[in-house]
Structure 1
């Protein structure tokens, strides 16, 4: 089974994918296609996506039994000891050091009026 998820892609690409896959929700396509067709569909997605983003999940042999491909997406597939995981960007609310610090309003809420721990 192959699943392709599109975000902010042109309608022409969406129409092209409906020739091969079922659109079960806006921008979500599923279906069974051969490896050759899947690779050509992914090449077409990359060519036609423009400023949009795309994710593809498909079945492969192995322990995890699926693999991921991403195009211009914030979440990136990363291999960790033979298992593919999706690395997502750091959330600035969880770790403010990643984004350069807290906003002034967040500092006031967290630490009080003067910006120091209460």
Structure 2
């Protein structure tokens, strides 16, 4: 059953943006919203996460859990997902971590 899906991207290649706009609308640059089946969502996420390069992406979709949604991320950023007793929280990595990854 199709469900609302939100995908946010930062600095992804143009071909990824093109693939996303075939299935979703882009109300603001880098933010995609659509009603997708699980199969289409998983395939789009596979393409995005494999092509993110130095960019980043976050996928949010409904899930049968306490929060009612699931989060997935691709790419390296200061924010990281953390599981806390079954809840997905967003944790900040130390600034030193970001400085080390920026130099790489």
CA offsets 1:86-118 (integer angstroms, 9 cap, x no match): 1122357xxxxxx9xxxxxxxxxxxxxxxxxxx
**Separation in 2 of the partners of 1:19 and 1:61?**
27
Q: Indicate if the aligned counterparts of 1:53 and 1:73 stay in contact, CA closer than 8 A.
A: yes
The alignment status of 1:79 with 2:83, answered yes or no, reads yes
Partner secondary structure for residue 64 of structure 2: coil
Deviation at 1:48, TM superposition (A): 2.1
The alignment status of 1:15 with 2:18, answered yes or no, reads yes
Name the residue aligned to 2:102.
none
Query: Of the two structures, which has the highest relative contact order with CA contacts closer than 8 Å and spacing of 6 or more?
Result: 2
Q: What are structure 1's unaligned runs of at least 5 residues?
A: 93-98, 100-118
Q: Indicate if the aligned counterparts of 1:60 and 1:67 stay in contact, CA closer than 8 A.
A: yes
Q: Indicate if the aligned counterparts of 1:9 and 1:49 stay in contact, CA closer than 8 A.
A: yes
Q: What are structure 2's unaligned runs of at least 5 residues?
A: 100-104
Q: Indicate if the aligned counterparts of 1:22 and 1:31 stay in contact, CA closer than 8 A.
A: yes
Name the residue aligned to 2:64.
61
Q: Indicate if the aligned counterparts of 1:54 and 1:73 stay in contact, CA closer than 8 A.
A: no
> TM-score by structure 2 length?
0.81
**CA-based RMSD:** 1.6
2:27 to 12, 17, 24: 24
Deviation at 1:69, TM superposition (A): 0.5
* Bigger strand share: 2
